Amino acid sequence: MCKAALLVLALVASAYAEELVASVLLTPDPAFKEKNVTGTLKIVQSVANGPVTITGSVSGLNKDGVHGFHVHAKGDLTQGCKSAGPHFNPEKVKHGAPEETVRHVGDLGNIKANAEGVAQINITDTMISLSGPNSILGRAFVVHSQEDDLGKGNSTVSQETGNAGDRWACGVVGIFSPEGSWPNSASSLQQTGFVLLLSTTTYFIKVLAN
């Protein structure tokens, strides 16, 4: 009986602890190939509905430059970065800063390059996800030529894109791990955990009753 109970508890723990990991290979837009902006990103969501961490680096940027960094709506790069569409914005709200509650889901602000034109990235965001309605899986990261003004400019472009300029590099968010099926929604892992937890509770009630 004890072994069975431990097995169920282990399944509950694994349902809640399932970590989703995605990766991105950033490559130059064909129109700006001479810039040779490249990079790699690792995207981790350790808990369902939890924060997402983005780490990695981007090279080929302006020395000490500040560049807009966003998730765009589509993973279509057939015509370069321009075919990735607008910022990922399922709520149809105005552009904003990452820390603001009213912003595009894909608004991740800016990345800052060092004197060699390399930006080290370590971002934690609570709005993007790797599952559910705000999932960025299959969408595209884009690195822009200019600084994102975070929607603070007095123009329509500022309100829509942060006036971040051209799209120098982009890459599609792909599955890294687990290799099997991913949850269809951000709540599915929690639902699985709830069912297993209910099973565990029922089991112990029966044990105590005997």
- Do 47 and 143 sit in the same domain of this protein? yes
Supply the pLDDT for residue 152: 95
Given 72, 103, 139, 149, which residue is catalytic? 72
- Do 4 and 47 sit in the same domain of this protein? no
Given 87, 139, 148, 149, which residue is catalytic? 87
Query: In angstroms, rounded to a whole number, what is the distance separating the alpha carbons of residues 21 and 26?
Result: 17
- Do 200 and 155 sit in the same domain of this protein? no
Query: In angstroms, rounded to a whole number, what is the distance separating the alpha carbons of residues 23 and 60?
Result: 20
* Domain CATH for 68: 2.60.40.200
Identify which of 81, 83, 91, 74 has the alpha carbon closest to the alpha carbon of residue 33.
Answer: 81
Whether 67 is catalytic:
no
Q: Is the peptide bond before 178 cis (omega within 30 degrees of 0)?
A: yes
- Do 117 and 194 sit in the same domain of this protein? no
Domain hosting residue 78, numbered range: 20-181
CA distances from residue 124 to 2, 34, 109, 112, 163 in whole angstroms, order as listed: 40, 31, 12, 16, 23
- Do 131 and 201 sit in the same domain of this protein? no
Count CA within 13 A, CB hemisphere, residue 60.
Answer: 20
Question: Cα-flanking dihedrals φ and ψ of residue 7, to 5°?
Answer: -65, -45
Query: In angstroms, rounded to a whole number, what is the distance separating the alpha carbons of residues 140 and 69?
Result: 11
Whether 104 is catalytic:
yes
DSSP state of 178: -
Supply the pLDDT for residue 115: 99
- Do 133 and 192 sit in the same domain of this protein? no
Given 67, 103, 139, 167, which residue is catalytic? 167
- Do 62 and 129 sit in the same domain of this protein? yes
Supply the pLDDT for residue 67: 99
Given 67, 104, 139, 149, which residue is catalytic? 104
Supply the pTM of this predicted model.
0.81
- Do 140 and 199 sit in the same domain of this protein? no
- Do 66 and 165 sit in the same domain of this protein? yes
Number of structural domains (the chain) is 2
Q: Which residue has the tokens 């369902």?
A: 48
Query: In angstroms, rounded to a whole number, what is the distance separating the alpha carbons of residues 83 and 30?
Result: 12
Given 29, 67, 95, 125, which residue is catalytic? 95
3-state DSSP assignment of residue 201: helix
- Do 159 and 83 sit in the same domain of this protein? yes
- Do 117 and 204 sit in the same domain of this protein? no
Identify which of 194, 185, 170 has the alpha carbon closest to the alpha carbon of residue 20.
Answer: 185
Whether 72 is catalytic:
yes
> Do 113 and 67 touch, CB atoms closer than 8 A?
yes
Q: Which residue has the tokens 């472009």?
A: 157
Supply the pLDDT for residue 193: 47
DSSP state of 36: -
Given 29, 67, 103, 107, which residue is catalytic? 107
CA quadruple 140, 74, 177, 191: dihedral sign: positive
Q: Which residues of the chain have pLDDT under 50?
A: 1, 5-16, 185-201, 203-205, 207
Supply the pLDDT for residue 5: 46
Supply the pLDDT for residue 2: 52
- Do 76 and 130 sit in the same domain of this protein? yes
Given 67, 103, 139, 144, which residue is catalytic? 144
